[in-house]
Amino acid sequence: MRVRDGDDGVGEVTAPPQHLVFAYYITGHGFGHATRSLEVVRHLVAAGHDVHVVTAAPEFVFTTEISSPCLHIRKVLLDCGAVQADALTVDRLASLEKYHQTAVVPRESILRTEVEWLNSIKADLVVSDVVPVACRAAADAGIRSVCVTNFSWDFIYAEYVVAAGHHHRSIVWQIAEDYSHCEFLLRLPGYCPMPAFRDVIDVPLVVRRLHKSRSEVCTSCLRLSGARRLRDAIVLGYQLQRAPGRDVGIPDWYSLSEKETGVRPTPSSHDMNGSAESSFEDFEILHGDMQGLTDTMSFLKSLSGLAGNDPRGSEKQTRERAAASVLFDWEEEIYVARAPGRLDVMGGIADYSGSLVLQVSLTAKAKCLICLCNWVFFINMFAQVSFGSELSNRAPTFDMDLSDFMDGDKPISYDKAKEYFSLDPSQKWAAYVAGTIFVLMTELGVRFTDSMSILVSSSVPEGKGVSSSASVEVASMSAIAAAYGLSIAPRDLALLCQKVENRVVGAPCGVMDQMASACGEANKLLAMVCQPAEVKELVNIPTHIRFWGLDSGIRHSVGGTDYGSVRVGTYMGRKMIKCAASDLLSESLPSCVPMQSGDTNLEEYEEHGVDLLKSEASMEYLCNLPPHRYEAVYAKDIPEVITGDDFLEKYGDHNDSVTAVDPKRSYCVKAPTRHPIYENFRVEAFKSLLTAAKTDGQLSALGELMYQCHYSYNACGLGSDGTDRLVNLVQEIQHRKTSRAGGPSLVGAKITGGGSGGSVCVIGKNCLKSSEEIFEIQRRYKAATGYLPIIFEGSSPGAGKFGYLKIRRRSA
């Protein structure tokens, strides 16, 4: 009904109108949307309503089916869909560029024009399939809107952003924001994740009306492809449907929470089938302890659902779940391992230079399930986008013959293994899992006579700098070791997993991530000296101190160019220092002068310290060089930048087995060399301060050390606008007047891990005010960038502490 003001200013309620005016916006991508929307339009017109169709599709699509003065066509292009070279090839970056020119650049003009037009036709309702700006224009005009679709452009473009880098990431957020103004979504079958919509109503499939009889269609289909293919297509269609609450493959950097758009998530099947205890009792635990971890209970419950699935039935489920349900012999013994992601508190990229590092093992984790069988088959069933196959253009499954890893009676080389997984980009993700098998074969001489089925599930978001890849590697190798009775200490397992990352995947990371995932413990900081991987101690986090992780939304990758070039620059600096120390040693201690007590040259020898020079000339880890020695002896001779060609000509090689010097490239050397030397000192000081007396001075000093680390990353070229913005927000809150009275609650922040995006670590008091300020930072970052950061908090045991579970399904 409508409410209008009467002459006396009192609201007057009128009877529901018999005639309505609809504004129906149809996307400009292909004819499919137009022909589907045509049926809705046809029924609305037949009911006597006026329908104004806003579309770039040809008029004949509508006028050949509908002949009525109630149908009005307005030719306008408000979105552009995808740019395709042919029916199967999409140019992702070009699609984003075209949308930017079509809908982003003229956005203000579009909104102004659409609001005026909607008011001019006195529209009662806006319907969209599925033009984003139509929902925003309707809201601005004070008109309700609904969408009718089974996919949305934020979902489609999110995959394009993942493939094309972070170009035009704001497009996805703008589209999601537009959709959030929609009153509700009429969701058609075969739908994709669409978290931007507030309310969802599932409806049957809407298609163009029949122009042939059922018998004619069946005869035609059977003649073209046969009954078997038709039946298989129908079965596959059922399997591709998604049940409420089982949407997967949403990019973590774009997933919308209730705080952003008021989305009310559909309760998942995990929440509707009773307690976890009743569900995981479908499995008998033969070995191990769940240690009260609710994520483990939920995981076992999800396995109960998989074990009971009939992939040929009509139950709606994802491709991954459909494949996983037939992957295992559920009557056999199954091994489950768990490995968490990590939050880098201090140390970061100094790990490969031998620094002390401090790491927290997060509650976000990867799970690996393994069963011995007759083939190797990897299922990529990830609840987050970290490894979401549908959105990341990655195959959901991977299978291989173990003989592919063998060259006669020996394993193939690491280079060939790396090449093997690089052949198909959609299956490169399998290197993180299958690579663990190859490393065990190569390094430990393990020969796998039985084959295996593996399922991996991870809640560690990818590209956030919280060790998504390390957690998958550690969980996978832990499960394989358990299944084959291999006794591998957590430290050794971490070193083997680092080889997976370095030699099979090709990412030049240090061992910090794998060590934290394998050796961490809940509520403690793992203090580790990376020479190569020695756990110094597990430091209790003081009860008055708390750490948070805040995701910037900017994708991080240790395989990226910046990370690799900084590592090369660091190793160049180490080589220069070693050569300089050798030269000084030669000058101070000529081979013709014997070292004897009372020698007149002894004072000259001691000037530089012969023993120090000897150790520095043979230095393996740059972090063993104290800052004062670096400044006093070597800093002045380290260049800011050097070309690869000049370095190779003068020094020969940088002596790093996992990176190579490009002769044609210039490398920053001074900042990458200085960073680990000072970072090791900062981490040592940080660790000592943690056990100091509880004072504001203690917290202030801890925060200052984190800030220094952050700006040292920036000097190396590993910063980003997003992480800088988050750190600046922490500083603004820390130093504002309202924080001075009782002392600030948040005291420091720094970029984490490999830098160049990802997350920041924040330190503060363990109090309610700190949590409120973290949420304030989250909101302010969203207001400035359109992206709502993920908050990481809490901790959980590493893979070594968890051990493994051996389970078997209970007999009926």
Catalytic residue ranges: 513
Judge contact between 361 and 526, C-beta under 8 A.
yes
Task: Say how far residue 99 (Cα) sits from the centre of its chain.
Answer: 24
Of the candidates 196, 179, 195, 189, the residue with the CA atom closest to the CA atom of residue 243: 189
Judge contact between 12 and 3, C-beta under 8 A.
yes
- For residue 30, what is the DSSP state? T
Task: Tell me the C-alpha distance between 234 and 240, whole Å.
Answer: 10
What are the residues whose beta carbons fall under 8 Å from the beta carbon of 711, sequence distance 6 or more? Answer: none
Residue with tokens 């979504």: 185
Q: What do you get for the CA distance between the two ends of the chain, in Å?
A: 58
Task: Say how far residue 341 (Cα) sits from the centre of its chain.
Answer: 12
Angle at 554 between CA 549 and CA 557, to 5 degrees: 90
Radius of gyration of the chain (CA): 31
As given in the structure block, the two tokens for residue 365 are 């984790």
372 burial level (CB within 10 Å; 0-12, 13-18, 19+): middle
- For residue 669, what is the DSSP state? -
Judge contact between 761 and 546, C-beta under 8 A.
no
- Residue 426: CA count within 13 A, CB half-sphere: 11
Angle at 773 between CA 771 and CA 776, to 5 degrees: 115
Beta strands 21-26; 50-55: pairing state: parallel
Task: Tell me the C-alpha distance between 775 and 372, whole Å.
Answer: 46
725 burial level (CB within 10 Å; 0-12, 13-18, 19+): middle
Paired with 50 in beta bridges are: 21
The H-assigned helical ranges of 142-275 are: 153-164, 169-179, 214-239, 258-261, 269-272
Kindly report the backbone phi and psi dihedral angles of residue 290, in degrees, each rounded to the nearest multiple of 5, phi listed first.
-75, -10
What are the residues whose beta carbons fall under 8 Å from the beta carbon of 353, sequence distance 6 or more? Answer: 530, 570, 574, 621, 622, 623, 676, 677, 680
For 30, left (φ over 0), alpha (ψ -120 to 50), or beta? left
Task: Say how far residue 256 (Cα) sits from the centre of its chain.
Answer: 14
Task: Tell me the C-alpha distance between 812 and 183, whole Å.
Answer: 47
Tell me the residue type at 680. Answer: N
As given in the structure block, the two tokens for residue 25 are 């916006």
Paired with 528 in beta bridges are: 357, 535
**SS3 of 144, please?**
coil
Of the candidates 576, 598, 545, the residue with the CA atom closest to the CA atom of residue 747: 545
Task: Tell me the C-alpha distance between 785 and 783, whole Å.
Answer: 6
Task: Tell me the C-alpha distance between 594 and 590, whole Å.
Answer: 8
Interhelix angle for 468-483 vs 490-499, to 10°?
Answer: 120
- Stated as kind and residue range, the H or E segment containing 535 is strand 534-540
Judge contact between 758 and 464, C-beta under 8 A.
yes
Task: Tell me the C-alpha distance between 170 and 254, whole Å.
Answer: 10
What are the residues whose beta carbons fall under 8 Å from the beta carbon of 65, sequence distance 6 or more? Answer: 38, 42
Task: Tell me the C-alpha distance between 253 and 289, whole Å.
Answer: 33
Around Cβ 385, how many Cβ atoms within 10 Å? 25
